[in-house]
């Protein structure tokens, strides 16, 4: 893979599945044609595909998306076969092999599993195949579900060290407001930093067949930028949009990582993107500045609130005073102990918890700042 540029492309259910519930073969053919063009130009391409549950509705003669887990998983099983067949046939017509990779968060929630997934994806790309990745909805449970394929795509992009992560959606990109409700809403072509103001522009879930919305796409963008990977959101059914976006000619929104912030380490990315989150701590203003501007560890004295339960060694969200997600990290205190020590200096903590003398709440080396 050395010297080869890699593109990760995520497709939402709303553009993959037609109104009849079946995979839109014409669109999949067009997409695979674009993938073939990029492969011919020397790119490695990974497709992160939604749509399994939606495609399974028609195959199982169901009129609407079920709410119970067993039927959802049955739909995913039936629909996944249909989607994989469609990708494989269209890519084979163009002389490109296809490899299916089904993941749950359980598969990447431990370091060994994370590395194994990276090895498999990398080897498929080395062999000239296009990995088609989806969440393994047939066996996933709530605790180990990614929740949306926007997040899964960001994790895959970090796994393979992608040069660009593209989300093909049913929207043009990020707007200043909901364009369906506000005629003055403007498309934002470039985002260099996801501030609370940018995050506030995101709405709720999009289509009736998908699980994501602009909010999930912004979370994916924050993760992608932390990995040093540019991300683009664009309308997926525009002619040649994937190729044009890769060539820098797209019309959506591009999120650009700061050149002054190098890619975080694999361990930090694993902590922030793949591990299961068990709780949260809320920082005061001083600790927020120290973490985001000075690269500091999080000390108990700067913690204003603890939201548990969690144990020592768990990954927790790190929030600003107004609830904005600053990052994720491995806590060195349980939630019970964190409640006891929050707001206190290290020398005070050492008097009643001598085993924690000098310990930060979260060390900088185990903190991914988003």
Q: Mapping DSSP to helix (H, G, I), strand (E, B) and coil, where does residue 362 land?
A: strand
Do β-strands 231-235 and 253-255 pair in parallel, antiparallel, or remain unpaired? antiparallel
- Is 50 marked as a binding-site residue? yes
- Is 10 marked as a binding-site residue? yes
- Is 213 marked as a binding-site residue? yes
- Is 216 marked as a binding-site residue? yes
* Contact status, residue 135 vs residue 146, Cβ threshold 8 Å: yes
* Contact status, residue 81 vs residue 102, Cβ threshold 8 Å: no
* Contact status, residue 108 vs residue 270, Cβ threshold 8 Å: yes
Among the listed residues 252, 292, 265, 8, the one whose alpha carbon sits nearest the alpha carbon of residue 133: 8
- Torsions phi, psi of 187, nearest 5? -70, 135
Helix axis angle for 69-92 and 52-59, nearest 10°, is 100
What's 273's DSSP letter? I
- Is 169 marked as a binding-site residue? yes
Q: How far apart are CA 63 and CA 164, in angstroms?
A: 37
- Is 149 marked as a binding-site residue? yes
- Is 30 marked as a binding-site residue? no
Q: Which residue has the tokens 């809403």?
A: 185
What's 23's DSSP letter? B
- Is 212 marked as a binding-site residue? yes
Other Cβ atoms closer than 10 A to 293: 8
Q: Mapping DSSP to helix (H, G, I), strand (E, B) and coil, where does residue 211 land?
A: coil
- What does the block give as tokens for 48? 């992160």
Core vs surface per residue 4-21: b (16+ CB within 10 A) or e: eebbbbbbbbbbbbeeeb
Give the annotated binding-site residues.
10, 50, 137, 149, 169-170, 211-217
Give the annotated binding-site residues for substrate.
50, 137, 149
Give the annotated binding-site residues for ATP.
10, 169-170, 211-217
């Amino acid at each position: 893979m050395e010297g080869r540029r890699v593109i990760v492309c995520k497709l939402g259910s709303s553009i993959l599945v037609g109104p009849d519930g079946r995979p839109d073969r014409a669109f999949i053919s067009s997409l695979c044609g674009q993938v073939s063009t990029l492969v011919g130009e020397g790119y490695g391409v990974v497709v992160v595909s939604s749509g399994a549950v939606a495609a399974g509705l028609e195959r199982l003669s169901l009129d609407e998306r079920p709410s119970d887990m067993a039927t959802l998983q049955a739909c995913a099983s039936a629909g996944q076969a249909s989607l994989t067949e469609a990708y494989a046939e269209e890519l084979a017509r163009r002389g490109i092999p296809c490899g299916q990779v089904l993941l749950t968060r359980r598969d990447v929630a431990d370091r060994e599993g994370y590395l194994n997934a990276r090895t498999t994806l990398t080897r498929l790309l080395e062999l000239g195949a296009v990995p088609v990745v989806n969440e393994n909805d047939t066996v996933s449970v709530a605790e180990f579900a990614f929740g949306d394929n926007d997040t899964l795509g960001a994790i895959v992009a970090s796994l393979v060290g992608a040069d660009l992560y593209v989300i093909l959606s049913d929207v043009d990109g990020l707007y200043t407001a909901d364009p369906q409700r506000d005629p003055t809403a403007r498309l934002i072509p470039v985002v260099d930093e996801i501030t609370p103001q940018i995050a506030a522009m995101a709405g709720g879930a999009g289509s009736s067949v998908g699980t994501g919305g602009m909010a999930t796409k912004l979370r994916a963008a924050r993760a992608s930028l932390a990995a040093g990977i540019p991300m683009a959101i664009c309308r997926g059914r525009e002619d040649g949009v994937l190729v044009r976006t890769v060539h820098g000619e797209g019309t959506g929104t591009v999120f650009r990582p700061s050149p002054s912030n190098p890619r975080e380490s694999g361990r930090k990315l694993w902590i922030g993107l793949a591990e299961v989150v068990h709780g949260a701590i809320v920082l005061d203003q001083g600790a927020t500045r120290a973490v985001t501007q000075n690269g500091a560890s999080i000390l108990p004295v700067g913690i204003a609130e603890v939201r548990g339960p969690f144990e020592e060694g768990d990954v927790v969200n790190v929030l600003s005073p107004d609830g904005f997600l600053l990052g994720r990290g491995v806590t060195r205190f349980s939630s019970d102990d964190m409640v006891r020590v929050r707001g206190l200096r290290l020398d005070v903590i050492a008097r009643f918890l001598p085993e924690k003398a000098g310990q930060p709440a979260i060390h900088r080396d185990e903190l991914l700042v988003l």
